Structure 1
Amino acid sequence: MEEQRVPVVGPPQWWRSGPSWWRQEEQERWPWRSTLLVTAFVLVGSNFAAEEQAGERADLDAFARALLLVAGLLLLWRHRYPVAVAFGTAGAAMVYLGAGYPYGPVFLTVAISCFSAIVAGHRRAAWAAMGTLWVGHVLVAHWLYQWLPPSGDSAAPWGQEGVVAAWVVAIVALSELVRTRREQWARERAERAQAARRRADEERLRIARELHDVLAHSISVINVQAGVGLALLDTDPEQARTALTTIKAQSKEALGEVRQVLDTLRAPGDAPRAPAPGLGRLPELVDQAAGAGLTVDVRGTPPPLAPGTDLAAFRIVQEALTNVVRHSGSRHARVHLDHGGGTLRIRVDDDGPATGADAGGSGNGLAGMRERAAALGGTIEAGPRADGGFRVLAVLPLTTKEDDR
């Protein structure tokens, strides 16, 4: 039965990783589209403002338009030099207001530059730029207006300064909110990338374990049968034929399992073409061990197991028997299966003696067994017995965390 995936309800994708327009602007070398749009808006809006404030403020002339153009085009460098652009736009706006030109969207360039500076982490510089502009406006509107154009101008009402201060606070608050959210986006992207790398490493280790277990067992049986075939080729051709038949069957099975593992690499999303092996194939494993000259006694029957637990149990028994064939002088092994208390206990014993320094198995084989057991919340104990043999004891939970989901 296929597992039904329930869609996870959560924030939209753009809220988790940032809006698409923001990510695109971050990747652009020069934000020229937004800069041209803002500059055009400032120039056109200032013309409308000049018509509305005719007679109250100085008319727009070439110098005023040059200041507006400079303030707008400075935004091209707001991502590369955010501090310089923040002070540059604030300076241009201050000169513009000091010359008595109409109030208008010139403040937009300051707001955007300071917004970019705060988002980039230059908070104090942006605050200083906006504070300098506000202090300069207070001086011009309440003191220096007497000596600056337009002539006959009066002091601005103090309520206007409150409105300006409110706009400054709003810009700072919005900028801080975006900066915080942007940092969160960056952390989430880094965490997703790290999780993807971790999943790739886990999958790589899983495939490595599968290939090791399949090839180690099959090659061990083939090696033993090849030795038997060579030894009996002249004296007992029929027995040599039996050994060659075992080699053929074992190599065919190994190729099939290796192909199944490799298919998961080619199409990770597809279901495997053949069911994964489990303890139901334990008699086949016993027959293969017998073909390698190892007699295996099996006691106990396994309970119904989840596919992951069943595969891990099969591979643990397979690796343990492979190690007996390769590294033990004993030609007899015992497999004992016992379950109770929510666990499956697998014990594999041989009577020894060890035939090499790496008795009990190679480091990779034992490490693979421990990794399989640990992934299910179980344990592996492997080591020599007091009587000279070797024992592998695996304890696997019958219900894993993945089964409870």
Structure 2
Amino acid sequence: MEGSDTLRAMAWVRNLGRRGDLALAAAGLALFGFGLAELYVPLAPYGDEGSDLTALPGGWMAVLTVLLAGYCLAVAACTSYPRTAAVLAGACFTAQIFTPVLPIWPVVPLLALLGACFGCVAVGGHHGPLVAGVSYFVSYGIQATRSGNQDWVFIVFVALAVMGPAYAVRMRRAQAERLVALAAEREAAARADERLRVARELHDIVSHGVTAMVLQAGAAQVVLGSDARQARESLDAVQEVGRDVVTELRRLLVVLRGAEGGPERLPSLRNLDVLLAGVRAAGGRAEVTVNGDLGKVPAAVDVSGYRVVQEALTNAAKHAPGAAVSVSIDVGRTDLRVRVVDDGPGVGRRSDGGGHGLTGIKERAELFGGTATTGSRGGGGFEVCVDLPLDANAPSLSGTGAPA
């Protein structure tokens, strides 16, 4: 279903629920007032063979008034308690058959019975049509038998004229409820997806920053007694990485809050100096090669490529400290290739901690319809290679500022 159909269905159900009860209560009061006028205002003689209601004993008038109240109550409750309302209207209709005034002659009893049956079919649940049919045909059949006017063709025609549209309303309500349920499922899935994206983005930011800070702090501790200058440089690097992490977290919060911010505020493959500086400060060597125009890379792909490089460098710093790392970025006609290679030991290399590092790289690639390969190289070292397509259907930056 299209999103507009879902919204229309949800609005239809909400409007029906809000206005239906008030409208039916007003209809019940109107019928009660009209019925009182029928009973107590001698506008014209009517009833069985033109009998005058003003000539009826007071007891019968009281009974008819009570039945009138039952009819109007059934109309007012025909959507809130549809099956009860249909049974009540049928019971009142049947009871009036045994009074001096048959229910077929006044207007209110017939309208109330038809209205209650309509509501029972439309909103009466699984057994609604059955309850409405029994209530209508039993009460109307008894009345027809007692009056001697057994025009079953007319009785069936009225039933079809009323319950046919009611069944159409029932089907539309069922469709609307399915659309609302589907919309709720999609919203829940979207929320879960957004939470997963935020978790991955936070992992990329915090994991890389904390790893670099731990390595720099460890290096400072080693040379603290022998090389004060090198120790200060390592501690300065810890501060710099910490500031970068805080900046990244602030950017993520800005995007999550929906504040204005262009793609220039997001991480980009154009700005890898901070990542490379962290590797160099930890004693390793790092170099980057860019082939092609990064300006034609969509923002979402650019951010995801940056996160791939970040995670690959973090993995190298944890498992191969001091190793030389080479980053190669190739922008082709249809895809972006990111390749990160180090010359450290590749055996036993895997995702860090709970397995979110290299696994996250593969999941990013799959999200864009790309591919990712990670593993030890034949000549030694470890390689991460990711291909991301540069198509217009890539995921947007909504929610977390980047696909995760």
Quickly name the TM-score band, shorter chain normalised: 0.7 to 0.9
Change (3 A) 1:9 1:335: closer
Please name the residue that 2:290 is paired with: 300
Q: State the AA in 1 paired with 2:219.
A: V
Deviations 1:223-250 (A, max 9, x none): 1111111122221111111111111111
Matched, 1:217 2:223: no
SS of residue in 1 equivalent to 2:375: strand
Cα offset for 1:202? 1.6
Cα offset for 1:296? 1.9
Q: State the AA in 2 paired with 1:113.
A: A
Matched, 1:24 2:24: no
Change (3 A) 1:85 1:9: closer
Please name the residue that 1:114 is paired with: 117
Q: Conserved in 2, the CA contact under 8 Å of 1:377 and 1:400?
A: no
Cα offset for 1:372? 1.9
Q: State the AA in 2 paired with 1:319.
A: E
Which stretch has the larger CA shift, 267-276 or 226-235?
Answer: 267-276
Computed over aligned residues only, the root mean square deviation of the Cα atoms, in angstroms, reads: 3.1
Matched, 1:187 2:178: yes
Cα offset for 1:260? 1.6
Q: Conserved in 2, the CA contact under 8 Å of 1:347 and 1:392?
A: yes
1:137 corresponds to which of 143, 150, 171: 143
Change (3 A) 1:179 1:318: same
Q: Conserved in 1, the CA contact under 8 Å of 2:292 and 2:332?
A: no
Q: Conserved in 1, the CA contact under 8 Å of 2:349 and 2:375?
A: no
CA distance in 2, matches of 1:103, 1:128: 22
Change (3 A) 1:165 1:232: same
Runs of 5+ in structure 1 lacking a partner?
A: 1-7, 143-154
Cα offset for 1:92? 1.1
Q: Conserved in 1, the CA contact under 8 Å of 2:375 and 2:382?
A: yes
CA distance in 2, matches of 1:25, 1:384: 67
Change (3 A) 1:309 1:53: farther
Which stretch has the larger CA shift, 327-336 or 54-63?
Answer: 54-63
Q: Conserved in 1, the CA contact under 8 Å of 2:336 and 2:389?
A: yes
Deviations 1:73-104 (A, max 9, x none): 24566556533431221121133245334331
Please name the residue that 2:58 is paired with: none
Q: Which runs of structure 2 are paired with 1:111-260 in the superposition (5 Å)?
A: 111-118=114-121, 119-121=123-125, 122-142=128-148, 155=149, 158=151, 162-260=153-251
Q: Which runs of structure 2 are paired with 1:4-403 in the superposition (5 Å)?
A: 10=4, 15-18=9-12, 20-24=14-18, 34-35=24-25, 37-45=27-35, 47-48=37-38, 51-54=43-46, 56-60=49-53, 61-75=61-75, 78=78, 82-99=82-99, 100-101=101-102, 102-118=105-121, 119-121=123-125, 122-142=128-148, 155=149, 158=151, 162-265=153-256, 267-268=257-258, 270-271=260-261, 275-303=265-293, 304-328=296-320, 331-340=323-332, 342-354=334-346, 359=350, 361-362=352-353, 363-402=355-394
Which has the bigger relative contact order, CA under 8 A and spacing at least 6? Answer: 2
Runs of 5+ in structure 2 lacking a partner?
A: 54-60, 397-404
Change (3 A) 1:163 1:21: farther
Please name the residue that 1:145 is paired with: none
Cα offset for 1:294? 2.2
CA distance in 2, matches of 1:106, 1:39: 14
CA distance in 2, matches of 1:20, 1:211: 38
Change (3 A) 1:164 1:343: same
Q: State the AA in 1 paired with 2:316.
A: V
Q: TM-score of the superposition, structure 2-length normalised?
A: 0.82
Percent identity, please.
26
Matched pairs, number: 376
Change (3 A) 1:312 1:192: same
Q: TM-score of the superposition, structure 1-length normalised?
A: 0.82
